[in-house]
């Protein structure tokens, strides 16, 4: 999910049926991450922390609540938003 990981994540392709190379490629990716120089690792961590700031549990809960309220309002004959 690139919208969550942004530039701070390392992405591996989706597994498809019969893809025997997927696990090998995943292991190589993990190995590359583990071998990052300290400076690069700290940069990636900092980007990840900064990226995480855009997400809020409270905001997500508020959005869910709004959706549920809209559904309930529509189900009871209201117009909704």
| Spatial separation of the C-alpha atoms in residues 45 and 36, rounded to whole Å | 12
* pLDDT cut 70: percent of the chain above it: 95
Tens of pLDDT, residues 16-43: 898 889 999 999 999 999 999 999 999 9
pTM value is 0.60
Burial call 37-74: b when 16+ CB within 10 Å, e when fewer: eeeeeeebeeeeeebeeeeeeeeeeeeeeeeeeeeeee
For residue 33, give every residue at least 6 positions away whose Cβ sits within 8 Å of its Cβ, in sequence order, or none.
10
| Spatial separation of the C-alpha atoms in residues 46 and 71, rounded to whole Å | 39
């Amino acid at each position: 999910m690139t919208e969550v990981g942004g530039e701070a994540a390392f992405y591996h392709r989706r597994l498809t049926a019969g893809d025997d190379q997927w696990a090998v490629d995943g292991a190589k990716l993990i190995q590359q991450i583990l071998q990052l120089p300290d400076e690069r690792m700290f940069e990636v961590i900092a980007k990840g922390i900064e990226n995480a700031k855009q997400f809020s549990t409270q905001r997500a809960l508020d959005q869910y609540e709004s959706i549920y309220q809209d559904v309930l309002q529509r189900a009871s004959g209201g117009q909704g938003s």
